[in-house]
Chains A and B, each alone.
Chain A
Amino acid sequence: MKHSGRSLSRIEDRALVTGRGRFVADFAFPRQLHMRIVRSPVAFGRLKDVDTSSAFDVAGVVAVWTAADIAAIPPIPVRGPAPAAIASFLQPILARDLVRYVGEPVAAVFAESAAAADDAAERVALDIAPLEPTLDPAGPIPNVMDAARSNEAATVRKAFGDLGSAFQSAAHVVAIEVDLARDGAVPAETRSLLAQWDPARDIVDLWAPARSAPHHRDTLAAMLGLPRAGIAVHVPNLGGGSGAHGEIDPEDVLVTHAARVLARPVAWVEDRREHLHAAAQTRGMTAKARAAVGPDGTLLGLDVDVMIDAGAYVRAEGMMVAEFLTAMLPGPYRFKAFRGTAHVRMTNRTPAGSFRAAGRAEATFVRERLLDAVTAALGADPFEIRTRNLLAPEDLPHDRHLAALGRPIVYDSGRYQHLVDQTMKHFSLELLRQRTDDRRAKGELVGLGCAAFVDVAGMGEAAHVRLSVDRIGIVEIVTAASDLGEGMPTTIAQVVADIVGVDYDTVRVRTGETDRIHTVSSPVPPSAELVITAAQYAAEAARELILDAAQALLDDTGDRLTIQSGRIREADRHFGVALSLGDIAAALEPGGLLSDRGGRGLVTEGSAKADGLSFPYGVHIVLAEIDKQTGMVRIPRAFVAYDVGNAVNPALVESQLASGALEGIAGALYTALDVSGLGDPRAINYADYPVPTACELPDIEVLVSEAAPTPLNPLGIKGAMDGGFTGIGAAIASAVDAALSAPGFVTHLPISPARIMAQIRARETA
């Protein structure tokens, strides 16, 4: 039975759907302490004093730490390349002289119970002299109160071609200004951590939703002056991720350090209110963009200047968002010249992290809004303008002569127009267009919008996998890579099962364990496709080992042996056989018949190194309906077409794309993490942060395309995690414009129904 390419059900779901998944907060140890963070209540201020004395009046308080107690611990480093000058923008674990955002950790309370820790935290008295906060990333005036650093942590510049001549020779120059509200991934599981120090082994075991367990281990070890072997990171089930957790945050450092210093297990579970203002946020930006266009609608030049709201400190993601935002601005289109500048601006807001389609969703929103403006300026058809300018198959591979985080942007493979055509045909979109036009002619506020984009995948640098078979023939795969919930264990099992010749649901896949496998960390977590490739290599090595051993054991010199359902038999005989995988494993172990072959048992390793980024691509089309009486937008249909090169499990790819699209719709119409004029967070619970429900959301109609396999891995796989999200906001903006017959109306996400209502009224009056 072949497994690859089939929509098999997930092996990891057995536990999850029966309520037996284990998340960090499900683990507990005897005598564990509970940590509560005392956070800054103001956006900006001078921290004059922290008085912890009253906290000890609460029974069960063991320790209260302020910055002075952990003075030796350095600030949180950036992973990946960053300018040297970034040092003054890094976040101390606990605030020292200044507090720079609402929610900044100032003190940590450790107590016998969570309730005691909460009570004690309230009694820690903060003496803060408030200062005028900076909240607008585009604000021109440097903050004189924060003399230690500039308002701009870094400026990222990308360019190719002669921009001046492109704009001089243009028949039309079209310009827009757009912005995005801050948002975050806001997963169902808030951040949670549990650390326990075992003095006998001298190891801190840390249960954490780490995106890259080896990187988590190595960074914490370096910050705390511990050997790499002194920390073991375990990543259990994750309740959603999308970027909100899994980086080194102040809490990770505090919990790990406290477990050793206090010699007690330490648990921390973030509450929702904390999560909504203290966990990493992203997306906030304002952009000025202009396009140089030829008389026939040919794109000549693209010039974009972006102010990114990086918040109060540069966190672990460093320049990642700025780098990918600028590098991916040109998208799937041909341009003679391009310039993209991103100003990484500091504000008195929660430090920015990353979120699904980091940088690419922003880039797509800016570029596709600009293309819609070009369409309007030329009185053209939005599909036609895009089609005219797409890179052609013969342009691929296409070197953009740009790099992001030092890695070249060379589009590896792609048939962009083919995907557009497939999408139109597969979903009968010409018909839907006509119907939508007819409905609008009858006075309904309905419109179609589209966005085309190129995404980025394969960001990790290396992955390592160990495969072993025990004496009863069970195959186990171990990787330090984390299961982010996207189905990686099942996909690995499918690939391995086909090669080794077993049933996929007997393969055991262990993920996110640094003490089961030695893996050197890389700053960027390995992509699933890299881990799958490593597993493929390990499985191929195992197959070779198995068949060699079987030939020796059976004294069979021919190459007629095959493996089916864990049994080795002769390919041309239906009966008789044979050997089981367990027999082979036993023979290869010490004391076995073939122990002279190394005596290591049936164990193989696979390593994969990234040869470059891969570039999946997609088209998003949505239908928007506007309620004339309320201005509220409904998306009755949303189409996501995406090329992943090769879908090992099409259902899992579809679900990734659909979930991304739903998150994208939420961000385009409902959710934002705004602050008041004083920098106070407006959303503190799920009533203020309105995640849409199944009642508001459509079924996402997905087309998984496999037209352009990547040459960068043997299976041709490109990642699918972000592709449902990347273009959906831009497509919704376009559809709302169309529904209102008001080109350029949407300049901001999320789209406000009150603004739409005002537009409808203004139209009636006019």
Chain B
Amino acid sequence: MLSQHGDDARLLAGGQSLVPTMTARLARPTVLIDLNRIENAALPTISAGRLRVPPLMRHADFERLSANGPLSTILAELSGHIGHLPIRMRGTFCGALAHADPAAEWCLASVVLGAELLVRSMTRGVRNIEAADFFESMMDTTLADDEMIIEAQIPLLPAATRYGFSEICRRSGDYALASTLVVYQRDEDEMTKVRLGVGGVEATPRRIPEAEAMLERREPTRQLFREVADLVASAVDPVSDLAADADYRRELTRAAVSRALDRSFR
């Protein structure tokens, strides 16, 4: 149907972004394709060391992932930050990626955790995209009009993983004005395989390689964390909007990075 109707059609999964946009008459699709009756599209599976997230897996489903392990813990914590309970009961992981709000928790997580997206079109078949290459700009992705995300695959994390997450909002449940997810392995006294990304700050979430390099093979200390927070704050190019101008967002980025790092060390 997507290939038939092109950009006149929109996919409806949880509807938590699309429906309000339609209510405000900002989106006016002539065709809505309801995915909700697709069978076996709600439960995740694990294979080849990856968590495979199907198109109808809801945010709330991450609160009670059956698989234990650091990845489940991280995703469970992040899911609790998404909107409010009714939103979490309906909205989907893949839908959030397709919507590509720069402040969305799942967009940040997929970039930092190195998720791979399986995207399918009727005519061209399936292609795989790294999450880091998926987001093009604010609310915009490389997804073509006739393509749908059929699965997101997130690599599992080893048991020695440590992580920290922080998001800064005015109100509980708001989109983050700045957020940070940091993940690393604790190897003796050192941090290795450090991945650190920020969301809600620039037009798309992204990892900050300078910060990762600064943390790699170093011993975690508060002093180092402060320096990294300062580094990230000066490395980003924050957007300005009504909720926070660029200068203030830079401050909030510093706060988010610093708190995420502190939490990784608890």
Interface residues of A (CB under 8 A from B): 118, 122, 273, 627, 629-632, 670, 682, 684-685, 687-688, 690, 692-693, 695-696, 753-754, 757-758, 761
Assess the B171–A690 pair: CB atoms within 8 A.
yes
CA distance A696 to B169 in the complex (A): 11
Provided the pairs A629-B251, A754-B245, A757-B248 are in contact, do residues A690 and B24 lie with their beta carbons within 8 angstroms? no
Assess the A754–B172 pair: CB atoms within 8 A.
no
Provided the pairs A629-B255, A629-B258, A685-B24 are in contact, do residues A754 and B248 lie with their beta carbons within 8 angstroms? yes
Provided the pairs A682-B242, A685-B24, A754-B244 are in contact, do residues A630 and B174 lie with their beta carbons within 8 angstroms? no
Residue of A nearest to B242 (CB): A682
B168 proximal to A (CB < 8 A): yes
Contact of B172 among A631, A682, A695 (CB under 8 A): A695
- B30 smallest CB distance to A (angstroms): 14
Query: Which residues on the A side are within 8 Å of B258 (C-beta)?
Result: 629
Query: Which residues on the B side are within 8 Å of A629 (C-beta)?
Result: 251, 254-255, 258-259
CA distance A737 to B20 in the complex (A): 40
CA distance A695 to B169 in the complex (A): 12
Assess the B24–A630 pair: CB atoms within 8 A.
no
Assess the B171–A692 pair: CB atoms within 8 A.
yes
CA distance A273 to B21 in the complex (A): 12
B173 proximal to A (CB < 8 A): yes
Residue of A nearest to B177 (CB): A630
B252 proximal to A (CB < 8 A): yes
Residue of A nearest to B168 (CB): A630
CA distance A685 to B174 in the complex (A): 13
Assess the B170–A757 pair: CB atoms within 8 A.
no
Q: List 14 A-B contacts (CB under 8 A).
A: A122-B25, A629-B255, A630-B168, A632-B170, A670-B171, A685-B20, A690-B171, A693-B171, A695-B171, A696-B172, A754-B248, A757-B248, A757-B251, A761-B251
B247 proximal to A (CB < 8 A): yes
CA distance A180 to B174 in the complex (A): 25
- B179 smallest CB distance to A (angstroms): 13
CA distance A692 to B174 in the complex (A): 10
Query: Which residues on the B side are within 8 Å of A696 (C-beta)?
Result: 170-172
CA distance A632 to B168 in the complex (A): 10
Query: Which residues on the A side are within 8 Å of B173 (C-beta)?
Result: 693, 695
Query: Which residues on the B side are within 8 Å of A692 (C-beta)?
Result: 171
Residue of B nearest to A273 (CB): B24
Interface string of B219-255 (1 = CB under 8 A from A): 0000000000000000000000010110110011011
CA distance A627 to B244 in the complex (A): 16
CA distance A687 to B243 in the complex (A): 10
- B200 smallest CB distance to A (angstroms): 13
Which 9 A-B pairs give the minimum distances between C-beta atoms? A695-B172, A629-B255, A754-B248, A757-B251, A630-B255, A690-B171, A690-B170, A693-B172, A682-B242
CA distance A682 to B243 in the complex (A): 11
CA distance A682 to B244 in the complex (A): 13
Interface string of B39-78 (1 = CB under 8 A from A): 0000000000000000000000000000000000000000
- A652 smallest CB distance to B (angstroms): 28
CA distance A688 to B170 in the complex (A): 11
- B178 smallest CB distance to A (angstroms): 9
Assess the B252–A630 pair: CB atoms within 8 A.
yes
Query: Which residues on the B side are within 8 Å of A682 (C-beta)?
Result: 242
- B91 smallest CB distance to A (angstroms): 15
CA distance A109 to B20 in the complex (A): 23
Assess the A753–B248 pair: CB atoms within 8 A.
yes
- Report which residue of B24, B168, B170 has the largest number of chain A beta carbons within 10 angstroms of its beta carbon: B170
- A401 smallest CB distance to B (angstroms): 45
Instruction: Tally A-B pairs: CB < 8 A.
Output: 50
Residue of B nearest to A752 (CB): B248
Residue of B nearest to A694 (CB): B172
CA distance A636 to B118 in the complex (A): 47
Query: Which residues on the B side are within 8 Å of A122 (C-beta)?
Result: 25
CA distance A118 to B28 in the complex (A): 13
- B238 smallest CB distance to A (angstroms): 12
- A666 smallest CB distance to B (angstroms): 10
**6 additional contacts (CB under 8 A) given A630-B252, A696-B171, A754-B245:** A630-B255, A632-B170, A682-B242, A695-B173, A754-B244, A754-B251
CA distance A682 to B168 in the complex (A): 22
CA distance A688 to B244 in the complex (A): 12
Residue of B nearest to A674 (CB): B242
CA distance A757 to B25 in the complex (A): 37
CA distance A630 to B176 in the complex (A): 13
Query: Which residues on the B side are within 8 Å of A273 (C-beta)?
Result: 24
CA distance A758 to B247 in the complex (A): 9
CA distance A118 to B24 in the complex (A): 11
- A518 smallest CB distance to B (angstroms): 43
CA distance A273 to B255 in the complex (A): 33
Query: Which residues on the A side are within 8 Å of B168 (C-beta)?
Result: 630
- B23 smallest CB distance to A (angstroms): 8
Residue of A nearest to B24 (CB): A273
- B242 smallest CB distance to A (angstroms): 6
Query: Which residues on the A side are within 8 Å of B174 (C-beta)?
Result: 687, 690
Query: Which residues on the B side are within 8 Å of A684 (C-beta)?
Result: 24
- A579 smallest CB distance to B (angstroms): 56
Query: Which residues on the B side are within 8 Å of A693 (C-beta)?
Result: 171-173
CA distance A757 to B252 in the complex (A): 10
- Report which residue of B20, B24, B168, B248 has the largest number of chain A beta carbons within 10 angstroms of its beta carbon: B248
Query: Which residues on the B side are within 8 Å of A695 (C-beta)?
Result: 171-173
CA distance A690 to B258 in the complex (A): 26
Query: Which residues on the B side are within 8 Å of A688 (C-beta)?
Result: 242
CA distance A387 to B106 in the complex (A): 55
- A679 smallest CB distance to B (angstroms): 16
CA distance A627 to B254 in the complex (A): 13
Query: Which residues on the B side are within 8 Å of A753 (C-beta)?
Result: 170, 248
Residue of B nearest to A695 (CB): B172
Assess the A670–B170 pair: CB atoms within 8 A.
yes
Assess the B251–A630 pair: CB atoms within 8 A.
yes
- A445 smallest CB distance to B (angstroms): 14
Query: Which residues on the A side are within 8 Å of B25 (C-beta)?
Result: 118, 122
- A353 smallest CB distance to B (angstroms): 24
CA distance A627 to B258 in the complex (A): 13
Residue of A nearest to B84 (CB): A693
CA distance A632 to B258 in the complex (A): 16
Query: Which residues on the A side are within 8 Å of B172 (C-beta)?
Result: 693, 695-696
- Report which residue of B20, B24, B245, B258 has the largest number of chain A beta carbons within 10 angstroms of its beta carbon: B24
Residue of B nearest to A627 (CB): B255
Query: Which residues on the B side are within 8 Å of A118 (C-beta)?
Result: 25
Query: Which residues on the B side are within 8 Å of A690 (C-beta)?
Result: 170-171, 174
Residue of B nearest to A629 (CB): B255
- A78 smallest CB distance to B (angstroms): 34
CA distance A754 to B174 in the complex (A): 17
Query: Which residues on the A side are within 8 Å of B245 (C-beta)?
Result: 754
Assess the B247–A754 pair: CB atoms within 8 A.
yes
CA distance A754 to B25 in the complex (A): 32
Query: Which residues on the A side are within 8 Å of B254 (C-beta)?
Result: 629
Query: Which residues on the A side are within 8 Å of B248 (C-beta)?
Result: 631, 753-754, 757-758
Assess the A631–B251 pair: CB atoms within 8 A.
yes
CA distance A690 to B252 in the complex (A): 18
Query: Which residues on the A side are within 8 Å of B255 (C-beta)?
Result: 627, 629-630
CA distance A122 to B28 in the complex (A): 13
Query: Which residues on the B side are within 8 Å of A687 (C-beta)?
Result: 174-175
Residue of A nearest to B248 (CB): A754
CA distance A280 to B26 in the complex (A): 25
Residue of B nearest to A122 (CB): B25
Interface string of B117-146 (1 = CB under 8 A from A): 000000000000000000000000000000
Query: Which residues on the B side are within 8 Å of A627 (C-beta)?
Result: 255
Residue of A nearest to B245 (CB): A754
CA distance A753 to B177 in the complex (A): 12
- B155 smallest CB distance to A (angstroms): 32
CA distance A519 to B144 in the complex (A): 66
- B111 smallest CB distance to A (angstroms): 23
CA distance A627 to B252 in the complex (A): 11
Residue of B nearest to A119 (CB): B25
CA distance A631 to B251 in the complex (A): 9
